[in-house]
Structure 1
Amino acid sequence: MSTTISPEPRPPVQVQPPPSPELAHLVNVVVGVVIVSALYLAREVLIPITLAILLSFVLAPLVALLRRVGLPHVAAALLSVVLALGVLSLVGSIIGVQIAGLASNAPSYQTAIQQKVESVQGAAFGRINELSRRLNNQSTPAGAPDGAAPAAPMPPVERPALPGLPGSESSGDRRPIPVEIQQGGSSTIELARKFLSPVLGPLETTLIVFIVAVFVLMQQADLRDRLIRLFGSSDLHRTTEALDDAGRRLSKYFLAQLMLNGAFGVIITIGLYVIGVPSPIVWGILAALFRFVPYVGSILAAALPLVLAAGTEPGWATVLWTAALFAIAEPVMGQVVEPLVYGHSTGLSPVSVIVAAIFWTWLWGPIGLILATPLTLCLVVLGRHVERLAFLDVMLGDRPALTPVENFYQRMLAGDTDEALSQAETLLKDRSLTAYYDEVALQGLRLAANDVERGVLPPDRLERLRNAASGLVGDLASVPDEDPSPKAAAAAAEKGTIEPPRETAPSVPLPPLAERPGAWAGERPVLCLAGRGPLDEAASAMLAQLLSKHGVGARVVPHEASSREQVGHLDTTGVAMVCISYLDISGSPAHLRYLLRRLRQRLPGVPLLVGLWPEGEAVLTDKAQAKAVGADYFTASLHDAVTQCLKVASGAAPPPQAAVPAGGQAA
């Protein structure tokens, strides 16, 4: 009597606790605090320099244009700055003249606005009084007769006059005589300081900005070389490409934003002129400037023209037309024109724009609010090219925080098949189903297999993940496996939100079903056998689905059907080829060698294909190792597996490799 000794259960893998924070992380926190403190304390110096650098990005295309015309570099930089200063002076002069004209008519505007405010208050208080009267009538005591006259008011109580208090008529009271101290006439120097101090500050800042901008434009190449020396001398190619790309993107964005805001100001100016609002040029210029402020800029730009429109006439027509102008122009510019100019995105997430506006306003005041979006965009571009600053792109950029593979795995963990299907439909717009399975789904399942191996995936979560993966494969049964149109692929590449596919759909011509050799003429000639991993059956289901989409029927068999006890009962009717799928085969592949030996005894002469996905994680990395375990074909992707099966079915495949026979000796 033989006794079968069952193997002891494998103990669960112990997960190490998270390590304590490293010193490098604490140093990064300290460095961040020091940088923020320096930005706040040195704002008087940094604000002009920052404005000058941003101005140089705007003027860089003009400098390049002047150099192509034939001007020397220094002359082109000086001329560009002079032109910018002239435009700024012209704008300031126009604003001053227009505001002087408004000041002369200010009393009439004030009177009309007061009348409108009083009418609105009267209407509002009238409604409130009427509502209050109705409530008082409803709250009349039950014992009081209807229509009873209200009780007469109590006569006022006369108080005796007290000496020393207001209202007292005592003849002996003596009130203190108020004393008013008047200063002598102000000197000329004091008057000049009083009126010129508010003007000298902005003029000084403007002069510093333009001087620094001149030197930045003149020394642009030298500054670039110095930055390369400081931050990237070990990798000149990558650093140069990063700086050129950053400068090109920022310059294009700032120039486009300046042109769009200027066009918005022109539209507002023309609209206000047609409506009849006084000084429309001023409000158009202010609308263009306020639009640099994210989200609230348009509201601020519309507030002042609305107030002035209320003072131009007794009625409300001008106010309504002005409100309609801003309500139509801003959405059209923001939702239609800007996406066409910037592309699908400016590179910033909506939340980061709000947070950046609050942060920079706290640091640098109103100037920080205007510079919030350009500065944040600079940080995002810097994070995309500097590895240590990649967190800036994750926190502030609009690119997905998770890769498609991580997003797939997260949806599978949550058991949310609908979200995973929505992501798959988005990715399938610019890639084939085979590419999606290879580059996203199998990579995500491999992450799950790693977590299972580490012991961090509980059984209930693993079962939920398996069901979600099976449901996703079933939902994609109606999707054809074909490459997208070049137009769709180009549109997806322009968005840049997902990685481009690295492979195309398998394309191997097959003869008609009746002309295929041997068992390949059957309905399901391929047997897709799952490996012994918990998620290998999902990979086998993907392979079977892809084969059926290319005209080769297949059926999926669980790993238990190939065990020593069950392999004799395995249904092998009409099987022309066996494909074994593994997501992970860590350690020695001895069990795979014995599995292939059992299959050869059960299916003599049938080619065996081993697929170990995804590519790059395999233990069997070459044909020699595949031959050592007894496989006829070895593939590292679903694309290669489908292609190999189609070649064998069409008779175009090379002869199988010499496999190890059942006895273990090479043929």
Structure 2
Amino acid sequence: MNEADLSTASKGLAAPYQTTDGDFRSKITGRTILILIGVAVVLRVGQEIFVPLALSLLLAFTLAPIVSFLRKRSVPKIAAVLLAVVSAFCAIALFSIVVATQVANLAENIPTYQRNIVAKVHALAQAGSGNGVLDHLSRAVERVGAEIQTRAVESQNPSDTAPSVREPLPVEIVTRSDPLQTLGNLLLPLISPFATAGLVVVLVIFMLLEREELRDRFIRLVGLGDLHRTTAALQDAGKRVGKYLLMQLVVNTLYAVPISIGLWALGIPNAILWGLLTLVLRFVPYIGAVIGMILPLFLALAIAPSWSLVIWVGVLYLVTELVSNNVVEPWLYGAHTGLSPLAIIISAIFWSWLWGPLGLMLSTPLTVCLVVLGRHVPQFGFLDVLLGNEPVLEPHEKLYQRLLSGDPNEASDNAEEYLEEEYLVDYYDKVGMPALLLGESDRQRGVMTEAQIALVAASSLTLVENLSDIAVEEENEEEEPAENPSKSPTVPETDLPDGEGRSVLCIGGRGGLDDAAAAMLSQVLEVQGAVARTASHSDLVARGALALPLEGVDTVIVTFLNGNSKSRARQIVRRLKRLKPSLRVGILIPTANGQDFPRIEPLEIDADFISSSITQAAEFGLTPSAPVSVKVVARKIARKRSQPKVQSEVSASD
């Protein structure tokens, strides 16, 4: 590669490292907090209004794909909406009737289960005699059993339990009221649930019929100035919520069916009831399945004299849960809800406090809507940060944070996860160098102390050392092919030349962070088979760079993270070439890319090449070429020299 080629190549170098501040995220201000508190108060006070609206909206999201499916089959719009809504609410009504029937049947059989419960508690009390908790539990169960027995006897023989002593008759003073008021007091508690259900049905029907009209009005109200963002938010919310509710219903159904069959096979009474309750309770994140398992376990404890039935019921729920979580849900869910596990728990607590049990069941889809709002509306970006499951820090930002904390071990763990899919050179180019550039930027702004700079540099060197095993594995990769090629890292973007027979010295240009960048480059060169060594920036000034181990070295690469290093780079290049004229000297300076800092041409500083990334530095450093000679600069002003005294004496004698 000659000088012209190097100059041309340097002009075409891209800018692989950009230290931008990232996407805009709205900060949580005092005004925002007050608005959120006000919204929560309004939702709590007006729950009688907002609960039907929220329930109708979520049902509309759920039924919208069904309506669209029917419309594609040439079903008229009104017929498709009515068919979907009627089918859904008929299923809900059938579910309610079955549950009510099963609950009534269970209530009738409760007294028959008390004997087994008392016997098991007595056995526990005898096994743990002296344990205060078990003694108290035994006495409590005995009292409950005696009370149930007494009530049962009284209900069967009321005449036998008549008191022998005549007690005074209670006198109740009743004030006459308006018949209409009395009728209203009796009917309103009965009518209210049906009225709410009817209101929800009507709202769902009209939301589905006027879906396009409501969408256009919403866009006109809040997003006419940014149709792209508003449309994306609506599509994202509808897709996430609708798919979550439908898929969750399918998953819960596939979960409840084997539970019901298994409980029936084990002889648990009212198996259909427990299956239906499990179907509903699994809409509650994390704790729903546990709550649905408690009652069947208690019933197994009540009906069987031994403990084996309780164990079998627990095994049934455990196996079904494992199959559902590891097979059914990954198969059916094409995309996640976008919520972090902690956000799901916190949202469940918040919405249950706000709207009770119904809020607990609706917590996940409602929170999904909030995350979508934060993802597409910058003013609410903090909602996506707090509740979403997307990484809030880029890999290089996360690495820099770990280096600042002096924790290279966790940084190494993150790097190893990254290197499962990428090569070492890609990691250093995409993560390592950008992290060091963040440190250099903070250093130039004066926000880092010398101790912090030294800590980041030392942590970076430790990180490079921790990744040496991976470097050895990559170096031997061609000789020992991977057992499972499908799990091997992707092919690097640039095929680097073989470094066999090449000897390269990597030196930091100005400080400890430059030394860390040189160590990263040196490790990449070793992976390519070259003999690579490193030297500190302090060696450049020690005895005029005479302390550098240049024997046997054919190429030196000096790293600079500071883009304003042209003069310093020129001095180092000329000093090294004067020490060893046959030496090729290159510069790695990622920020001098024509954007952050002016581009530096190799011929301007007598360098053999200038690279803006580790990949380019390794490529140029391992490519054989004749070294560039140091240009002799002609002096414009000749230095005056004093004439010899002999000549002056001769001229005087003449």
Q: TM-score range by the shorter chain?
A: 0.7 to 0.9
User: In 1, distance between residues paired with 2:574 and 2:453?
Assistant: 30
Give yes or no for the alignment of 1:84 onto 2:88.
yes
Q: Kindly tell me: are residues 344 and 85 of structure 1, through their superposed partners in 2, closer, same or farther at Cα, counting changes over 3 Å?
A: closer
User: In 1, distance between residues paired with 2:129 and 2:75?
Assistant: 75
Q: Kindly tell me: are residues 194 and 664 of structure 1, through their superposed partners in 2, closer, same or farther at Cα, counting changes over 3 Å?
A: farther
Unaligned runs of 5+ in 2: 1-25, 133-165, 637-654
Paired AA for residue 430 in structure 1: E
Shift of 1:547: 1.4
Q: Which residue of 2 aligns with 1:116?
A: 116
1:255 to 246, 249, 262: 246
Paired AA for residue 302 in structure 1: M
For the 8 Å contact 1:442–1:614, the answer to whether it is kept is no
Paired AA for residue 506 in structure 1: T
For the 8 Å contact 1:432–1:505, the answer to whether it is kept is no
Q: Kindly tell me: are residues 471 and 225 of structure 1, through their superposed partners in 2, closer, same or farther at Cα, counting changes over 3 Å?
A: same
Q: Aligned to 2:588, what secondary structure does the other structure show?
A: strand
CA displacement 1:519-567 (0-9 Å, x = unmatched): xx4x51x232211022101111111111121133222222233338423
User: In 2, distance between residues paired with 1:424 and 1:567?
Assistant: 34
Paired AA for residue 641 in structure 1: A
For the 8 Å contact 1:111–1:311, the answer to whether it is kept is no
Structure 1 stretch displaced more, 548-557 or 309-318 = 309-318
Paired AA for residue 119 in structure 1: A
User: In 2, distance between residues paired with 1:187 and 1:305?
Assistant: 48
1:589 to 566, 574, 577: 566
Structure 1 stretch displaced more, 68-77 or 341-350 = 341-350
For the 8 Å contact 2:28–2:382, the answer to whether it is kept is no
User: In 1, distance between residues paired with 2:595 and 2:258?
Assistant: 62
User: In 1, distance between residues paired with 2:173 and 2:634?
Assistant: 116
Q: Aligned to 2:202, what secondary structure does the other structure show?
A: helix
User: In 2, distance between residues paired with 1:299 and 1:569?
Assistant: 70
Q: Which residue of 2 aligns with 1:609?
A: 586
For the 8 Å contact 1:612–1:618, the answer to whether it is kept is no
Shift of 1:425: 0.7
Q: Aligned to 1:365, what secondary structure does the other structure show?
A: helix
Q: Which residue of 1 aligns with 2:144?
A: none
Shift of 1:254: 1.7
Summarize the alignment of residues 466-545 of structure 1 with structure 2, pairs less than 5 Å apart: 466-479=457-470, 480=474, 487-488=486-487, 504-510=492-498, 513=500, 521=501, 523-524=502-503, 526-545=504-523
User: In 2, distance between residues paired with 1:53 and 1:186?
Assistant: 41
Shift of 1:473: 1.0
User: In 2, distance between residues paired with 1:628 and 1:230?
Assistant: 59
Q: Kindly tell me: are residues 427 and 228 of structure 1, through their superposed partners in 2, closer, same or farther at Cα, counting changes over 3 Å?
A: farther
Summarize the alignment of residues 181-220 of structure 1 with structure 2, pairs less than 5 Å apart: 181=172, 196-220=187-211
Q: Kindly tell me: are residues 263 and 591 of structure 1, through their superposed partners in 2, closer, same or farther at Cα, counting changes over 3 Å?
A: same
Paired AA for residue 376 in structure 1: T
For the 8 Å contact 2:563–2:592, the answer to whether it is kept is no
User: In 1, distance between residues paired with 2:48 and 2:173?
Assistant: 37
Q: Which residue of 1 aligns with 2:380?
A: 389
For the 8 Å contact 1:383–1:389, the answer to whether it is kept is yes
For the 8 Å contact 2:577–2:630, the answer to whether it is kept is no
Q: Kindly tell me: are residues 322 and 605 of structure 1, through their superposed partners in 2, closer, same or farther at Cα, counting changes over 3 Å?
A: closer
Q: Which residue of 1 aligns with 2:527?
A: 549
Q: Aligned to 1:610, what secondary structure does the other structure show?
A: strand
Unaligned runs of 5+ in 1: 1-21, 133-174, 493-500, 514-520
Q: Kindly tell me: are residues 272 and 538 of structure 1, through their superposed partners in 2, closer, same or farther at Cα, counting changes over 3 Å?
A: same
Q: Aligned to 1:546, what secondary structure does the other structure show?
A: helix
Give yes or no for the alignment of 1:663 onto 2:633.
yes
User: In 2, distance between residues paired with 1:346 and 1:664?
Assistant: 70
Paired AA for residue 360 in structure 1: W
Paired AA for residue 53 in structure 1: L
RMSD over equivalenced CA pairs, Å: 3.7
- By relative contact order (CA 8 Å, sep 6+), the higher-ranking structure is 2
Structure 1 stretch displaced more, 50-59 or 359-368 = 50-59
Paired AA for residue 433 in structure 1: L
Q: Kindly tell me: are residues 580 and 249 of structure 1, through their superposed partners in 2, closer, same or farther at Cα, counting changes over 3 Å?
A: same
Paired AA for residue 254 in structure 1: L
Give yes or no for the alignment of 1:407 onto 2:407.
no
User: In 2, distance between residues paired with 1:42 and 1:659?
Assistant: 82
Provide TM-score, normalisation by structure 2.
0.77
Q: Which residue of 2 aligns with 1:558?
A: 536
Structure 1 stretch displaced more, 111-120 or 441-450 = 111-120
User: In 2, distance between residues paired with 1:311 and 1:258?
Assistant: 31
Summarize the alignment of residues 446-465 of structure 1 with structure 2, pairs less than 5 Å apart: 446-465=437-456
Give yes or no for the alignment of 1:641 onto 2:631.
no
Q: Aligned to 1:535, what secondary structure does the other structure show?
A: helix
Q: Aligned to 1:180, what secondary structure does the other structure show?
A: coil
Shift of 1:433: 0.9
2:294 to 291, 295, 303: 303
CA displacement 1:162-188 (0-9 Å, x = unmatched): xxxxxxxxxxxxx99564226599998
For the 8 Å contact 2:512–2:537, the answer to whether it is kept is no
Q: Kindly tell me: are residues 199 and 314 of structure 1, through their superposed partners in 2, closer, same or farther at Cα, counting changes over 3 Å?
A: farther
Q: Aligned to 2:243, what secondary structure does the other structure show?
A: helix
User: In 2, distance between residues paired with 1:620 and 1:278?
Assistant: 78
Give yes or no for the alignment of 1:598 onto 2:602.
no
1:73 to 72, 77, 80: 77
Q: Aligned to 1:579, what secondary structure does the other structure show?
A: strand
User: In 2, distance between residues paired with 1:185 and 1:112?
Assistant: 44
Paired AA for residue 661 in structure 1: K
Shift of 1:455: 3.7
Q: Aligned to 1:634, what secondary structure does the other structure show?
A: strand
User: In 2, distance between residues paired with 1:568 and 1:318?
Assistant: 83
For the 8 Å contact 2:59–2:204, the answer to whether it is kept is yes
User: In 1, distance between residues paired with 2:244 and 2:323?
Assistant: 19
Shift of 1:209: 2.0
User: In 2, distance between residues paired with 1:118 and 1:461?
Assistant: 67
Give yes or no for the alignment of 1:34 onto 2:38.
yes
Structure 1 stretch displaced more, 59-68 or 449-458 = 449-458
User: In 2, distance between residues paired with 1:220 and 1:629?
Assistant: 67
Shift of 1:378: 2.2
User: In 1, distance between residues paired with 2:204 and 2:632?
Assistant: 80
For the 8 Å contact 1:438–1:639, the answer to whether it is kept is yes
Shift of 1:72: 3.2
Summarize the alignment of residues 286-365 of structure 1 with structure 2, pairs less than 5 Å apart: 286-312=277-303, 318-342=309-333, 346-365=337-356
Structure 1 stretch displaced more, 590-599 or 181-190 = 181-190
User: In 2, distance between residues paired with 1:207 and 1:558?
Assistant: 78
Q: Aligned to 2:610, what secondary structure does the other structure show?
A: strand
Q: Kindly tell me: are residues 88 and 534 of structure 1, through their superposed partners in 2, closer, same or farther at Cα, counting changes over 3 Å?
A: same
User: In 2, distance between residues paired with 1:266 and 1:424?
Assistant: 44
Paired AA for residue 39 in structure 2: I
Q: Aligned to 1:566, what secondary structure does the other structure show?
A: helix
User: In 1, distance between residues paired with 2:593 and 2:359?
Assistant: 48
Q: Kindly tell me: are residues 561 and 327 of structure 1, through their superposed partners in 2, closer, same or farther at Cα, counting changes over 3 Å?
A: closer
Paired AA for residue 262 in structure 1: T
User: In 1, distance between residues paired with 2:519 and 2:230?
Assistant: 45
Q: Which residue of 1 aligns with 2:556?
A: 578
Shift of 1:196: 4.4
Q: Kindly tell me: are residues 407 and 88 of structure 1, through their superposed partners in 2, closer, same or farther at Cα, counting changes over 3 Å?
A: same
Paired AA for residue 250 in structure 1: V
User: In 1, distance between residues paired with 2:176 and 2:304?
Assistant: 43
Q: Aligned to 1:256, what secondary structure does the other structure show?
A: helix
Number of equivalences: 570
For the 8 Å contact 2:524–2:618, the answer to whether it is kept is yes
CA displacement 1:305-331 (0-9 Å, x = unmatched): 344445545555544443433343234
Q: Which residue of 1 aligns with 2:8?
A: none
